[in-house]
Structure 1
Amino acid sequence: MTTAIPAARTSAGADPVRPFKVGACGFVVLGVGHLALSAAAASAAAASAAPTPEQRSADTAMRESTFTLLGLERITFDVTHGMSIAMALFAVARGLLMLAAVRHAPDLVRLRTAFGWAPLVASLVILGTAVILLPAPPIIVLAVTSCAFALSLRRGAAV
């Protein structure tokens, strides 16, 4: 005997999966874009023979500043760039995992579970951070992801 699980009925009649996928793709775009811009900036810096005095000063200060944490001594320049790359890869991985999960279990989004709420909260918190500390491109992408996740939840059915 098989047990049929009825399809979730959504509140607005529209499927909440599509905007959720838009939000998840936004995380992928954010991470890939960050990695691409980081690579382009590093390439341009290597090719540029004349950095500004401010750039030289900042670069020198970061390369000369070290700290030790849990027995590992690291240069501030390396830590800053390493964290940046790691977070970009994390954004890509998170977006791809959300896309894979919703493909195999769309009711995670259709039923307004924590799976749908967690990306919205994360996107909003990161958006707030971006508004304070980052340039326009991540602000725009995160505004789109936040709106997409919110729309997905609005369209979903209450559990």
Structure 2
Amino acid sequence: MVNTAMPARTSTGADPVRPFRIGAYGFVVLGAGHLAFTAAGASATPTPEQRAADTAMRESTFTLLGLERTTLDVTHGMSIAMALFVIACGLLMLAAVRHAPHLVRRRTAFGRVSLVTSLAAFGLALLLLPAPPIVILPITSCAFALSLRRGAAD
């Protein structure tokens, strides 16, 4: 009789859950770090160049769906919102894998979407972002890829 309570694993016996958790925690660290850097930047004394850029962004306004916003408002708002979404995504990944580890023990879309998202974000980071995401996102990408490699085929 086959015991269905046994987790699906590859022939090596390496559990794919651990690297997946590392990737998910990486997302949490990335978002939390972004919020910390944002708070630190907001409390720091701006350089003359930063003051000039902030002034220009405050003077540039647009209206969308009846709401007028400055470019500075939108930039800061999107930045903070994206950090919160990255944290939430990582926490949801951790909760899902805790309650349904088969989502990563078997190669499902759950693991594939995590890897693709991490790789896409890494590509964007290389083109547009500073060092912290360029350091963290290859780690999350490798962790998600290792998790998929260790997972059992569907």
1:126 to 121, 128, 143: 121
Count of aligned positions: 152
Are positions 1:38 and 2:38 aligned together?
A: yes
In the alignment, which residue of structure 2 is the partner of 1:60? 55
Using the alignment, how far apart are the partners of 2:147 and 2:16 within structure 1? 4
Aligned to 1:109, the other structure's residue is in SS state helix
1:142 to 129, 137, 140: 137
Given residue 63 of structure 2, which amino acid in structure 1 is its aligned partner? T
Using the alignment, how far apart are the partners of 1:7 and 1:39 within structure 2? 43
In the alignment, which residue of structure 1 is the partner of 2:80? 85
Using the alignment, how far apart are the partners of 1:78 and 1:52 within structure 2? 19
Aligned to 2:10, the other structure's residue is in SS state coil
Change beyond 3 A, Cα 1:6–1:53: closer
Deviates more, 1:10-19 or 1:74-83: 10-19
2:89 to 82, 85, 94: 94
Please state how far the C-alpha of 1:87 moved relative to its aligned partner: 0.3
Aligned to 1:67, the other structure's residue is in SS state strand
Contact 1:30-1:141 within 8 A present in 2 as well: yes
Using the alignment, how far apart are the partners of 2:47 and 2:41 within structure 1? 14
Change beyond 3 A, Cα 1:126–1:64: same
The share of aligned pairs that are identical, in percent, is 76
In the alignment, which residue of structure 1 is the partner of 2:23? 23
Displaced runs of 4+ in structure 1, greater than 6 A? Answer: none
1:107 to 102, 111, 122: 102
Unaligned segments of structure 1, at least 5 residues: none
Normalising by structure 2, report the TM-score: 0.94
Please state how far the C-alpha of 1:116 moved relative to its aligned partner: 0.6
Given residue 12 of structure 2, which amino acid in structure 1 is its aligned partner? A
Aligned to 2:69, the other structure's residue is in SS state strand
Over the residues paired in the alignment, what is the CA RMSD in angstroms? Answer: 1.3
Unaligned segments of structure 2, at least 5 residues: none
